[in-house]
Amino acid sequence: MSRKQQMPRPESDLGDDDTGCPILHVDMDAFFASVELRERPELAGAPVIVGAPGARGVVLSATYEARRFGVHSAMPMSRARRLCPRAVVIPPSHGKYAAVSRSVMELFGTFTPEVEPIASDEAFLDVAGAGKRLGRPAAIAAMIRERVAAEHGITCSVGVASSKFVAKLASRHAKPDGLFVVPAARVVDFLHPLPVGALWGVGERTERSLLRLGVRTVGDLARTPPETLQRELGQAAGAHLRELAWGRDERRVTPHVPDRSIGAEETFVTDIDDPVRIRRELLRLSERVAARLREGGHVGRTVSVKLRRADFTTISRSRTLRDPTDVAQELYAVACDLYAVSGLEKTRLRLVGVRVENLLPAGGAARQLSLGERETGWREAERAMDRAARRFGRDAVLPASLVRPPSDGVDL
């Protein structure tokens, strides 16, 4: 069971005073699985896992019925099946989740322009400026939950607090399908009984170091002398964690954080040394990355490939283009070149990936046509595919070389 699942429920007598608590953290409940259950309501109440069914796939999402068996995201599918042999496994549909995510984020924007998405299924909102129009923070949180359920058929949990850090912890304690307020005057009462692993920045290694000091709860850490923490963890980390332990988090909600890169990876069920199959996967990944670039209104200048050998050693190769692009065929051509010069064309691989960096707004990026290139071509064809995908699903229109049985890998 994960550390998050082991965290105890907070005291129930904190109260619901949301004065000075303008920060909301909204987190969809078992997002991918919940989206799938909209189309398969007969599975409601059953343990459902979203992920590639192959032995080397990983869990992307699991319903709370599956989580009761210890299943959690990022777990190898083979272990998840052992823990919950009756689970229904559904292959992922990333285009569908992206569409729902965009719509949910747009819904948040109707409450406040101060929306900071931090993943496809969660965001921070600052509702300080929405009070006169919509009411108190807890009331706004309740309205958001009602609209997400009514308009999208899924549930979300909302934490209401005075800071981002505490709001995120509060939403975790509200799960599933709940709302939890941490009054500004009760932040320390809320934090100090929690295990020290609840703090942002405390991974397994840091937690082991703290446990060696006898620091087991957030309260223990708050009462540990600063010099002891800084000696054990380093000056910056020790000071930062002590601030969090006292509920001090000055970070503001930052709307419209631009994507720094967009990528996709594929892990194969069995290691592959066939260059034809590797290039076919590079095409599939280039198609997916290009579609995400266009969805986000981006073009990119730097293309990289990630190649992981059977022994888990990984190499990356990249190239910066003269002109930024959002065209899959252009990404694919570069990815194939990088694969060719990697020296791994006859090497067994377990994972390949394609990523685009140095992103720019699509509308503001000038592009020079290559000699003989028409203004319409691959770009126009791929935009037509985007329109078809929005209507019929991402797999409805594919390049001929990708029309084949389902992939033998899992997208991460």
Res. 296 pLDDT band, cuts 50 70 90: confident
Look up residue 313 and give its two tokens: 């050693």
70-96: average pLDDT: 92
Annotated ligand binding at 411? The verdict is no
Global model pTM greater than 0.75? no
370-381: average pLDDT: 50
Report which of 137, 160, 100 is spatially closest to residue 295, judged by C-alpha positions: 100
Angle, alpha carbons 8-80-311 (nearest 5°): 115
Res. 385 pLDDT band, cuts 50 70 90: low
Report which of 317, 293, 287 is spatially closest to residue 305, judged by C-alpha positions: 317
Q: Across-strand partners of 298? A: 361
Tell me how far the alpha carbon of residue 282 is from its chain's centroid: 22
- Catalogue the active-site residues: 122
Q: Note the pLDDT of residue 52.
A: 84
Q: Angle between the 378-392 and 328-341 helix axes, to the nearest 10 degrees?
A: 110
| Greater pLDDT, 245 or 295 | 245
CA distance 76 to 56: 7
145-171: average pLDDT: 96
Is residue 369 over pLDDT 80?
no
CA distance 289 to 279: 15
Q: Note the pLDDT of residue 371.
A: 40
Is residue 408 over pLDDT 90?
no
Is residue 411 over pLDDT 60?
no
| Greater pLDDT, 197 or 5 | 197
380-387: average pLDDT: 59
CA distance 217 to 355: 40
State the chain's mean pLDDT as an integer: 85
Q: Note the pLDDT of residue 14.
A: 63
98-124: average pLDDT: 93
> Can you spell out the DSSP letters for 167-227?
HHHHHHHH-SS-EEE--GGGHHHHHTTSBGGGSTT--HHHHHHHHHTT--BHHHHHTS-HH
Three-state SS for 90?
Answer: strand
Looking only at the bridges linking them, the beta strands covering 48-51 and 23-28 are unpaired
Is residue 284 over pLDDT 50?
yes
Tell me the pLDDT tens digit for each residue of 164-176: 999 999 999 999 9
Res. 274 pLDDT band, cuts 50 70 90: very high
DSSP H helical segments within 297-409, as ranges?
Answer: 328-341, 378-392
Res. 387 pLDDT band, cuts 50 70 90: low
Side-by-side strand order, sheet with 59-62: 59-62, 48-51, 88-90
CA distance 101 to 4: 23
The residues, ordered by sequence, that sit 6+ positions from 400 with a Cβ below 8 Å of its Cβ are: none
Q: Note the pLDDT of residue 9.
A: 43
Looking only at the bridges linking them, the beta strands covering 23-28 and 156-161 are antiparallel
Dmax (CA) of the chain: 72
Is residue 341 over pLDDT 50?
yes
| Domains, in order of start, for the chain | 32-94 (3.40.1170.60), 192-245 (1.10.150.20), 261-411 (3.30.1490.100)
Annotated ligand binding at 273? The verdict is no
> Do 326 and 383 form a contact (C-beta atoms < 8 A)?
no
Is residue 4 over pLDDT 90?
no
